Amino acid sequence: MPGARRRARLTVYTTDVLIIGGGLAGCATACHLAASGVETTLVERGGLNRAASGTNAGSMHFQLRRHDQISPARGQLIRGGLAEWRSIGEEFGPAIGMRMDGGLMVAETPDELTRLHAKIKTERELGLTSEVLQGRELADLAPALATDLAGATFCPEEGLVNPLLATGAFASAARGHGADIRTGCEVSAVDVIDSGGFIVHTRTGPLRASRVVNAAGAWAGQIARLAGVPIPLTGGVQMVSATARQPPVLTQLVQHVARALTLKQTMDGTFLVGGGWSGAVPRGGPRPSWESLAGNAFLACRVVPGLRAATLLRSWTGTIAMTPDRLPVAGESARLPGWFSLVAPRGAAGYTVTPYLARLLASDLANGGDGGSAMPSVFSPDRWSADG
Amino acid sequence: MGERTRVTFTFNGASCQATPGESLAAALLSSGVRSLRRSRRTGEPRGVYCGIGLCFDCIVTVDGRPNTRACMTLAEDGMRVESQAASIGQQT
Amino acid sequence: MTVDHADLAADVDLVVVGGGPAGLAAAIEADRCGVSTRLIDDRPTLGGQIFRQPSPSLPDRRVLTTKPEHARGLALLSRLRQSRVQQVTSATVVDISPGGPFRIQYVRGDRTDSVRARQVILATGAYDRPVALPGWTLPGVVAAGGAQAMAKSHGVLPGRRVVLAGSGPLLLTFAVQLHRWGVQVAAVTELAGRPRARDLAALARRGALAPDYIRQGLQCAGYLAAHRVPVHFRTRVTRILGSEQVTGVILSRVDHGGRPLVGSDRTVQADCVCLGYGLVPSPELARLSGCEMVPDLERAMNVPARGALLETSVPGLFAAGDGVAVRGSAVALLEGQIAGLAAGRNLGRGTGERFEQRLRPLRARLGRSLAFQATLSAVYPAAISGCDLATAETVLCRCEEVTCGELSAAIAAAAPLADASVVKGMTRAGMGLCQGRMCAANVYELIASATGVAVTAVSAFTPRPPARPVPFGAVASRVDYDGGDGDIPEDPDCIS
């Protein structure tokens, strides 16, 4: 096995940091860790990027729908996320279908327009250069938008990425720096070693690690329970729909200040429509819900009327992590030293903030606890336990 | 029903005739037109393949509407039919 | 778990999807049992492919349907007109959700209609097997079924000088049809060998249909010989020539495995190639509805599991005809009748003695038809590869122009976890306008041979709505304007 350190009496593969989960969180963490020279192994039960990381709509969004819910931690995520995706863009940009032509958050009614004006102040404080556009200005910038909208905020810092490609780019870079990434490697049990470290049992055998990162997304609750440090994290089913290629008419990400909507035209010319609409879970397993598809389509067509003539081709579901407070679970567990977590759940703009959180976590792991951590303590995995 | 009632449409600007109830594909085939468009990636010629509306190879742009199957669309008087642009979806 | 279907709140007792032989027979039979039925078909006129009716405005002298098919189709349609079946045409079913009553969504024009039904019969039919070989995307290459559809509906011929390449019991019949329509048939290539006397004898033992079949086959062979149409057995078209459209083909003799024999190439000039390698079923709605699929080893594909009365694993959902597995119109008609009858019984109509009385002869005839079809497969292979002639440069996904070589490279890169969804994400194969209908089977076959699993064991493209491409505006509706902000359902797989 590449990178294995086999001692005479131990037949267990040993590594420094073992990451559980092969989505964006795990692969980005692996990339930063390996680049810092930390011995890193990642195990993924299926294939890389198959869950939320690969099934979301690829929105890079920083604008706020609720400007009154901004916390210092959230502000840090926005600033950090912005910088992080900028540098990712420089390194991988075209290869991951990235286009950062800005985002438009629309308002239909005068009340909603008022909300737009209220929120840009907060956004500017966070380093976003949002401005409210209406009428002719808005039409010139985005002619595909309906002409009877009250207005929209334009945030040049937003954009879109191809979620099918981003995780793979990090994984390749991680491997290039020496990380061992294993697919088809499901974790079944976790043993805590008294003297420190863990034995993680997988489908292909046990692995010994000094430190573990729980980056299992919607399944992080299951993994956490295996280690004896449960967290109230479940998985929820959302859906996205996609059209066939259409003539290029829209370059910005489109959202709605009062409704759940993301709408974008990808580099391939297809439109992706989402925003967090719910899937369905009948007996056979998750599948798109027709009611969601229809409602999401209605909203999208209301905002971009030309979409009516587009050909709807596909829809799919993705399972996203859910925490009660909609905040990330990130950092080391005080209940179990050496056990780290990195999950961005629904409500936390997961795709947008994850690479930044991964960099913070990797930095903490590489420093071994020296020099303090930039990870906001409100993300602590212990925040629900009695003594957390 | 006589053949005197013919329908006239244009294909890439050229005038074409059809009998009422005839599909665009059939009408174009009758006039010897088999190549309907160039493919997006390699620019190869494409026409009718499955003939029953499943393969979407025979797509044309009708009155500005792209992705319209010629084999499933009945010819109508005054229709403006164009080869589907190969560049559809390509970003510059 | 027994579901009392009769009690479910619904708009209609039964929805039949598909108006070909199986669907028509099912609707007529159900109506006879007093079942309120809505029949939905995506074409403007009913009849499916085999009973395709000419376009209403087509002058009579241009009608190209064969007399027996035409007559049978008309008879069925006439019985349907006399029934109380609600007929909905030019309507595309895009989703079926089971559980309680079935909710069927179908798109007509620029809107979606929704209907709740207590029972559903899927009779979605089949389409030409896509066979990828060098040059198959050229204008002038048409599927045999498509060529027939254009001829029957619009009186339009596929070309002037046609090579007909394929395999199966319908191949020679189609050759005769083409010739009768005035097409110059430059060559017919049949993958299988010439039927042997003992195969014909085996067929003859199979009962009522056999003499007709054999007679028709001999008549076709005789007609083609008399008109000097070259028919080449154990031969395939291995390459289609031309740059802007078809100019000719290369034929090769092949071995018993269908592999071209070196040195046996000949070139034949033509302006059209009809590919007639049999039909493949449309299982999308069955899979979307959650039917359990089981391998049909003979055909090397997965089919919906069905009980003796053709009910699938989803209670109240039946599947009949070529949409399950291709076995011809005689089987389709019988299965449609049985499914219609069984649906009626589920609803408490036509129970007991009358049900059994009606069912028994249908089952007997179906058994004989199926046995006959099975014997046919001794002559013609039931499982045909759609991509064994493809080279690395041959396009396999027509919509996204993904070549065989690109797919093989992706499969190798993803191995050992190369399932269809992964390969789709890597290459875009299956993500185009046809929703994978032209390439899925070939993608599975490539994965199977690269990874050493049976093709029926390859994890297929996940079935999702819409079952067919439809205008986005047609789908839009205000059903749940706030559906993105509320609670979302939990995925049971994540429970800790």
Query: Do A128 and A241 have their domain in common?
Result: yes
The structure tokens listed for C143 are: 């599927």
B61 located within any domain:
yes
The C-alpha of B48 sits at a distance from chain C's nearest C-alpha, in angstroms, of 7
Task: Identify the pLDDT of residue A152.
Answer: 98
**Into how many domains does chain A fold?**
2
A247·B66 Cβ contact <8 A: yes
Percentages helix, strand, coil for chain A (3-state, rounded to 5) are 35, 25, 40
pLDDT > 70 in chain C, percent: 95
Q: Which of residues 277-296 of C touch A (CB under 8 A)?
A: 288, 290
A76 located within any domain:
no
Query: Do A318 and A330 have their domain in common?
Result: no
Tokens 């780290």 found at: A340
Task: Identify the pLDDT of residue C354.
Answer: 84
Local structure of C311: helix, strand or coil: strand
A140 located within any domain:
yes
Local structure of C343: helix, strand or coil: helix
Eight-class DSSP state of C6: G
Query: Do A242 and A285 have their domain in common?
Result: yes
Q: Which chains touch A (3 or more CB pairs under 8 A)?
A: B, C
As a whole number, mean pLDDT of residues C288-293 equals 95
B68 located within any domain:
yes
B65 located within any domain:
yes
Residue B67, chain A, CB below 8 Å: the answer is yes
The answer on pLDDT for B2 being more than 50 is no
Minimal Cα distance from B70: which residue of C? C150
- Report the DSSP pairing between strands A187-192 and A198-202: antiparallel
φ, ψ of residue A300 to 5 degrees: the values are: -60, -45
As a whole number, mean pLDDT of residues A176-198 equals 96
A213 located within any domain:
yes
A66 located within any domain:
no
The answer on pLDDT for C73 being more than 90 is no
Percentages helix, strand, coil for chain B (3-state, rounded to 5) are 10, 30, 60
The answer on pLDDT for A313 being more than 60 is yes
pLDDT, averaged across chain C: 91
The answer on pLDDT for C2 being more than 70 is no
Query: Do A369 and A226 have their domain in common?
Result: yes
The answer on pLDDT for C53 being more than 80 is no
B2 located within any domain:
no
Residue range of the domain that includes B20: 7-82
**Into how many domains does chain B fold?**
1
pLDDT, averaged across chain A: 93
Lowest mean pLDDT segment, chosen from A5-19, A265-279, C344-358, C435-449: A5-19
Burial C176-185 (b: 16+ CB within 10 A, else e): bbbbebebeb
Task: Identify the pLDDT of residue A9.
Answer: 46
A79 located within any domain:
no
pLDDT > 90 in chain A, percent: 81
Eight-class DSSP state of A38: -
Query: Do A141 and A270 have their domain in common?
Result: yes
Q: Which chains touch B (3 or more CB pairs under 8 A)?
A: A, C
Task: Identify the pLDDT of residue C467.
Answer: 98
CATH number, domain at A346? 3.50.50.60
Task: Identify the pLDDT of residue C480.
Answer: 65
- Confidence band of C63 (pLDDT split at 50, 70, 90): low
C489·A283 Cβ contact <8 A: no
The answer on pLDDT for C407 being more than 80 is yes
Q: Which among A311, A312, A313 is the top mutation candidate for probing chain B, defined by the most B β-carbons within 10 Å of its own β-carbon?
A: A311
* Amino acid identity, position C426: M
Query: Do A210 and A307 have their domain in common?
Result: no
- Confidence band of C201 (pLDDT split at 50, 70, 90): confident
The answer on pLDDT for C56 being more than 90 is no
Whole-number Å distance between alpha carbons of A85 and B25? 48
Query: Do A298 and A177 have their domain in common?
Result: no
B45 located within any domain:
yes
- Confidence band of C196 (pLDDT split at 50, 70, 90): confident
Distances (CA, A) of C17 to A280, C125, C266, C487: 23, 10, 45, 34
B47·C140 Cβ contact <8 A: yes
A246·B66 Cβ contact <8 A: yes
A318 located within any domain:
yes
φ, ψ of residue C361 to 5 degrees: the values are: -65, -35
The answer on pLDDT for C260 being more than 50 is yes
The answer on pLDDT for A3 being more than 50 is no
- Confidence band of C155 (pLDDT split at 50, 70, 90): confident
The structure tokens listed for A324 are: 């009660």
Whole-number Å distance between alpha carbons of C463 and A136? 43
Task: Identify the pLDDT of residue A284.
Answer: 81
The answer on pLDDT for C275 being more than 80 is yes
β-partners of residue C46 are none
CATH number, domain at A132? 3.30.9.10
C398·B49 Cβ contact <8 A: yes
Q: Which chains touch C (3 or more CB pairs under 8 A)?
A: A, B
Query: Do A149 and A242 have their domain in common?
Result: yes
Residue B41, chain A, CB below 8 Å: the answer is no
Whole-number Å distance between alpha carbons of A296 and A301? 9
Lowest mean pLDDT segment, chosen from A332-341, C19-28, C41-50: C41-50
pLDDT in tens, A76-112: 998 899 899 999 999 888 889 899 999 999 999 999 9
Boundary (domain end) residue, out of A278, A293, A322 = A322
Task: Identify the pLDDT of residue A318.
Answer: 96
Whole-number Å distance between alpha carbons of C476 and C480? 10
The answer on pLDDT for C60 being more than 90 is no
The C-alpha of C154 sits at a distance from chain A's nearest C-alpha, in angstroms, of 27
Distances (CA, A) of C25 to A18, A297, C283: 61, 37, 19
Whole-number Å distance between alpha carbons of A124 and A130? 6
Query: Do A150 and A44 have their domain in common?
Result: no
B24 located within any domain:
yes
As a whole number, mean pLDDT of residues C353-378 equals 89
Q: Which one is predicted more confidently, C170 or A151?
A: A151
Whole-number Å distance between alpha carbons of C319 and C18? 11
- DSSP element (H, E) containing A223: helix A220-226
Task: Identify the pLDDT of residue A120.
Answer: 92
Residue C405, chain B, CB below 8 Å: the answer is no
Query: Do A124 and A195 have their domain in common?
Result: no
The answer on pLDDT for C66 being more than 70 is no
pLDDT in tens, C218-233: 899 999 999 999 999 9
Task: Identify the pLDDT of residue C101.
Answer: 93
The answer on pLDDT for C3 being more than 80 is no
Whole-number Å distance between alpha carbons of B92 and C388? 37
Whole-number Å distance between alpha carbons of C21 and C321? 8
Residue range of the domain that includes A182: 13-53+164-232+325-387
Lowest mean pLDDT segment, chosen from C112-126, C212-226, C313-327, C456-470: C212-226
The residues near C474 (Cβ < 8 Å, ≥ 6 apart) are: C107, C109, C110, C111, C112
Query: Do A181 and A309 have their domain in common?
Result: no
Taking a C-beta distance cutoff of 8 angstroms, is the pair A56, A162 a contact? no
pLDDT in tens, B4-34: 578 999 999 999 999 988 999 999 999 999 9
Task: Identify the pLDDT of residue B91.
Answer: 38
pLDDT > 90 in chain C, percent: 74
A171: exposed, middle or buried (Cβ count in 10 Å: 0-12, 13-18, 19+): buried
DSSP assignment of C81-123: HTS--EEE-S-EEEEEE-SSSEEEEEEETTEEEEEEEEEEEE-
Longest distance between any two alpha carbons in chain B, whole Å: 50
The answer on pLDDT for C119 being more than 50 is yes
B88 located within any domain:
no
Boundary (domain end) residue, out of A322, A354, A374 = A322
pLDDT in tens, A134-169: 999 999 999 999 999 999 999 999 999 999 899 999
Give the other-Cβ count within 10 Å of C288's Cβ. 24
Task: Identify the pLDDT of residue C87.
Answer: 97
pLDDT in tens, B24-81: 999 999 999 999 999 999 999 999 999 999 999 999 999 988 999 999 999 999 999 9
Boundary (domain end) residue, out of A322, A349, A373 = A322
CATH number, domain at B45? 3.10.20.440
The structure tokens listed for C236 are: 């395939």
- Confidence band of C1 (pLDDT split at 50, 70, 90): very low
Query: Do A172 and A226 have their domain in common?
Result: yes
Task: Identify the pLDDT of residue A387.
Answer: 55
C158 dihedral zone (left: phi>0; alpha: psi -120 to 50; beta): alpha
pLDDT in tens, A194-250: 999 999 999 989 999 999 999 999 999 999 999 999 999 999 999 999 999 999 999
- Confidence band of B92 (pLDDT split at 50, 70, 90): very low
CA C166-C170-C171 angle, to 5 degrees, is 35
A188 located within any domain:
yes
CA A206-A210-A215 angle, to 5 degrees, is 75
Judging contacts by C-beta atoms under 8 Å, the chain C residues touching residue B45 are 138-139, 244-245
Local structure of C403: helix, strand or coil: strand
Judging contacts by C-beta atoms under 8 Å, the chain C residues touching residue B36 are 139
B43 located within any domain:
yes
- Report the DSSP pairing between strands C184-190 and C231-233: parallel
